[in-house]
Amino acid sequence: MKKLIVFLLLVVLSILSSVAQDIISDESISDYYINLGEEIEVEFDVNYITDCDSYSVDVDIDYLFKEITITVDYDYDEDCDETDDYDTEQVDILPLLEGDYSVVIECDVSFNFDLDEDIDVGDFEVVKPENKDCDASFVPFISGFCPIYGDEVCACNGQNYDNECEAYFEEEHGLYYHFTCSDFVEENSINFECGIYSLDIDNTFEIYECSNKEFDGDELYFEYEHSGDSVLITFNSSSSGTRLFLVDIDFGDIECLEESDDSKLEIYNYGSGTYYVIADEDGYSWNNSIEICDINTAEDITASNDISIFPNPAKSFIKVKSSSQKIQNIRINNEMGQTVFFSKDYQQERKIQLPDKNGLYFVRVVTALGSTTKKILIE
């Protein structure tokens, strides 16, 4: 009888020793200090107990307590033969907020709790890079993970959010600024003056909720003192997708008031005070420019309705006609902002021979009522 008991104990010990191996081993973390927007990599081996076993891996991130849990759900089949096989798993984890994170691997074995394992992999820190590059590629909207705390911040789309997490997760373009949107616009604005300006600049700040299109890339910021009268601002851009936006800053939020067409921005019924005029393109392009030439008061806004240009599209010529005033001068620019025709005139109608090169052109006509710029297509 004693021999039988000893034999049974040896069998039990043999079985236990055969499954006592660690399922998870050689765990490591790729770095202990990364920039915001970078991935962290966790690598580990999953050792099979039998050749019929299987497993799955899942990752959970607690953004409030900065904890990362990697769960390995392991299915153990005791009826199969033992094996020494293993798989090496590499888990890439993103998105992450700033802060100190801990990483834990939990191995949950089905129908055998004695084989469960909890492994403390280590800690790492996520810091904001010195160069706050809004073009960094991040992640789509998952703000349900965001904790309800923190100081108000301004995201790269120019909108204020309640905290860093909300700003980060609601913007695919990533990093945020630790000051309000109004600070950004004010610090990057220049006094509004007529002139030719390059659109190839360093400002990158998306803010245009009043537009159905996504304006991003390089923007010009002008500080504009409005007198309270209705105003027409005309412009000529080397990019047909350029628009002007009249915005107001109200308690740190940027409110888009008016959007231009491709040649003029009309401002009506706004009180006197400081506003901002922002020039931006629909999409990215290089070496584009904008010529902002005229700021006309209310009585001059009728200038646009006074001018007609036909035919449009045109082939070899156009006629420019003013219904009430003599034309003072006519200027035609191509899409690159280059002047291809200029003439001083003192009549109400003028026939103009067009350039041979097809494309989009801008015709600026000046009369006693003011100026207007209209777009024509040469086929």
Class of CATH domain 183-300: mainly beta
- What is the total residue count of the chain? 379
Tokens for 86, please give them.
């293993």
Tell me the C-alpha distance between 161 and 153, whole Å. Answer: 6
| pLDDT the model gives residue 297 | 47
Closest to 377 in 3D by CA, of 284, 219, 240, 260: 240
Look at strands 24-29 and 117-127 and give their pairing.
unpaired
- Report pTM: 0.44
| pLDDT the model gives residue 135 | 47
CATH fold, domain 20-127, is: Immunoglobulin-like (2.60.40)
Q: Tell me the pLDDT tens digit for each residue of 164-219.
A: 666 766 654 455 665 566 777 787 888 887 778 887 776 655 555 555 555 655 67
SS3 163: coil
Class of CATH domain 303-378: mainly beta
Asked if residue 151 lies in contact with residue 165, where contact means CB atoms within 8 angstroms, the answer is: no
Tell me the C-alpha distance between 61 and 142, whole Å. Answer: 12
Asked if residue 253 lies in contact with residue 276, where contact means CB atoms within 8 angstroms, the answer is: no
Q: Tell me the pLDDT tens digit for each residue of 215-244.
A: 655 678 888 888 776 777 888 887 777 888
pLDDT (tens digit, 0 to 9) for every residue of the chain, 379 residues total? Answer: 555 555 555 555 555 444 457 999 999 999 999 877 678 999 999 999 999 999 999 999 887 788 999 999 999 998 999 999 999 999 998 777 778 999 999 999 988 888 999 999 999 998 866 655 554 444 434 445 565 555 666 665 566 676 666 676 665 445 566 556 677 778 788 888 777 888 777 665 555 555 555 565 567 888 888 877 677 788 888 777 788 888 888 766 777 788 888 888 887 767 778 888 888 877 655 667 888 865 654 444 455 667 888 888 888 888 888 877 788 788 787 776 677 887 877 688 888 888 878 888 878 787 776 667 777 888 8
**135 DSSP 8-state letter:** T
| DSSP E strands, 135-216 | 153-155, 160-161, 176-177, 189-191, 195-198
Asked if residue 300 lies in contact with residue 370, where contact means CB atoms within 8 angstroms, the answer is: yes
| pLDDT the model gives residue 257 | 81
Distances 147 to 126, 163, 164, 174, 336 between C-alpha atoms, Å: 17, 8, 10, 18, 49
Tell me the C-alpha distance between 17 and 286, whole Å. Answer: 69
Return the residue matching tokens 């940027």: 254
Tell me the C-alpha distance between 335 and 240, whole Å. Answer: 7
